[in-house]
Amino acid sequence: MRALVWNCQGVGSPLTVPHLREVNNLLSPSFIFLSETKNRKQILDRIARSLRFDNSAVVEAMHKAGGMAVFWKEGTQVLEVNLTAFTIEVRLEDDDKHCDWWFIGVYASCDGQISKEQWRVLRDRSRLWGDRYMIAGDFNDIVSNGEKWGSVFREESSFRDFKTFIEQSNLIDIGFEGHPWTWSNHWENEGEIRQRLDRCLASYEWVQTFDKAKCQHMDTYASDHSILCLDTDPEKGKRKQRFFFDKRWLHKEGVQQVVEQAWQRDEPGSRMFKITRKIRNCRIELLKWRNTFAANSKRKIAEVKERLEALSSSEAPSKKEKRTELKHQLKEAYQEEEKFWSQKARLDWLREGDKNTKYFHALVKGRRIKNRIRKLQRENGSWAESEEKIVSEISGFFRELFTSG
């Protein structure tokens, strides 16, 4: 399972949702935990739907402060969800490992007295989670204010309470990949502070079960906090998506020339082999051509991000003002991109009618469920049940079919 953990500092920020959509498209997580959402359930449910997540659970913000949410997709097997004032606890089932485990998303308080009570509550509640659980999120002020890289902890009461909680709960920090901090105040020169406030802690049994799990720190310009990408099985990788021809391309200028040039390319071999190669050439060229849409805004987003990254590692004067200006440019570039796709969707609606109804979505979901191959019987009578074994069985069948006399 791949999960994103992020203190987004308010989903109402103009950069938050576009950046979340960008990371979602890049990594295809099946689970997202957001803290400090600063918004109501209605807004967060709408964001979950826009990101194509089927389910959500929300702890609403109070007076536009705090708030948490989890989103998960249909294929993620969620058995139970518990909500508290500073946690969202989700029990998940893992088919590959044949076990269930708890994910606990935390948004801890900066107040030492409150956080002390929170650690005590977590320690008590850990008895309900069994042996296999993961705690992830923003643990707030647990490192020193003068520390630059987050490797030296503050020896004050709040950290001592946190350290005691880890020791008594037998938790293990699973470590990280990427830059060694997850939060920065983005001040200039000596005033800049970088700390590792966000982390993933796990029980010993969880680490034993998911021994290859990793946590990656991902840069973001929509919040002072980095995104944590937790991958319980990084070797599994992202599933390759199927190619679909979008009928809207037929109305775009240049598509006919792209197909003609790809089809007319000479290919050696038998007649059937030539046809398969020509179809492949058309698919590749169409994908390249599709990526040129809205090129200006996409290029601008990439350029601004590069400038922001260069600014972060520089000692330039007026660094804070320049960062604010670049973030404003990034917001405008995201808005241009959103406007392009919104306008295109509106044109399709005007031409073809509003097909985005509950009935239509129900038909699509029903067809997906009906067409899904859950298991396949081999010639010897045994069954292939996992996706990898089913794909291997189908590939082997057709390979033998097309190579036989």
**Residues with Cβ within 8 Å of residue 289, at least 6 apart in sequence:** 254, 255, 258
As a whole number of angstroms, the distance between CA 142 and CA 267 comes to: 63
Task: Give yes or no: residues 104 and 207 share one domain.
Answer: yes
Residue 350's pLDDT is what? 52
Which domain-ending residue is among 180, 207, 231? 231
Task: Give yes or no: residues 194 and 265 share one domain.
Answer: no
Three-state secondary structure call for residue 109:
coil
Residue 154's pLDDT is what? 40
Asked whether 222 and 8 are in contact (CB, 8 A), the reply is yes
Would you say residue 336 lies in a domain?
yes
Asked whether 180 and 199 are in contact (CB, 8 A), the reply is no
Residue 100's pLDDT is what? 94
Asked whether 277 and 283 are in contact (CB, 8 A), the reply is no
Would you say residue 399 lies in a domain?
no
Count of structural domains, the chain? 3
Q: Is the Cα torsion angle 153, 156, 160, 161 positive or negative in sign? A: negative
Task: Give yes or no: residues 65 and 198 share one domain.
Answer: yes
Task: Give yes or no: residues 254 and 349 share one domain.
Answer: no
Q: Strand pairing of 383-384 and 68-72?
A: unpaired
Task: Give yes or no: residues 39 and 155 share one domain.
Answer: yes
Residue 148's pLDDT is what? 41
Q: What is the CATH number of the domain that holds 55?
A: 3.60.10.10
CB atoms within 10 A of CB 126: 20
Under DSSP, the state recorded for 18 is H
Cα of 223 vs its chain's centroid, Å: 15
Task: Give yes or no: residues 45 and 151 share one domain.
Answer: yes
Measure Cα distances from 290 to 285, 287, 352 in Å: 8, 5, 21
Task: Give yes or no: residues 55 and 173 share one domain.
Answer: yes
Residue 308's pLDDT is what? 83
Task: Give yes or no: residues 203 and 251 share one domain.
Answer: no
Task: Give yes or no: residues 148 and 268 share one domain.
Answer: no
Under DSSP, the state recorded for 182 is S
As a whole number of angstroms, the distance between CA 67 and CA 39 comes to: 7
Task: Give yes or no: residues 128 and 14 share one domain.
Answer: yes
Three-state secondary structure call for residue 257:
helix
Would you say residue 386 lies in a domain?
no
As a whole number of angstroms, the distance between CA 17 and CA 29 comes to: 15
Closest CA to 89 of 124, 116, 113: 124
pLDDT digits over 33-80, tens only?
Answer: 999 999 999 999 999 998 989 999 999 988 778 899 999 998 899 999
Dihedral angle, C-alpha 347, 353, 357, 359, nearest 10 °:
-140
Task: Give yes or no: residues 36 and 151 share one domain.
Answer: yes
Asked whether 402 and 396 are in contact (CB, 8 A), the reply is no
Would you say residue 385 lies in a domain?
no
Task: Give yes or no: residues 193 and 286 share one domain.
Answer: no
Closest CA to 206 of 232, 177, 228: 232
Would you say residue 240 lies in a domain?
no
As a whole number of angstroms, the distance between CA 393 and CA 378 comes to: 8
Residue 206's pLDDT is what? 94
Would you say residue 401 lies in a domain?
no
Would you say residue 252 lies in a domain?
yes
As a whole number of angstroms, the distance between CA 20 and CA 220 comes to: 9
Domain boundaries, position 327: 295-372
Would you say residue 400 lies in a domain?
no
Residues of the chain with pLDDT under 50: 143-157
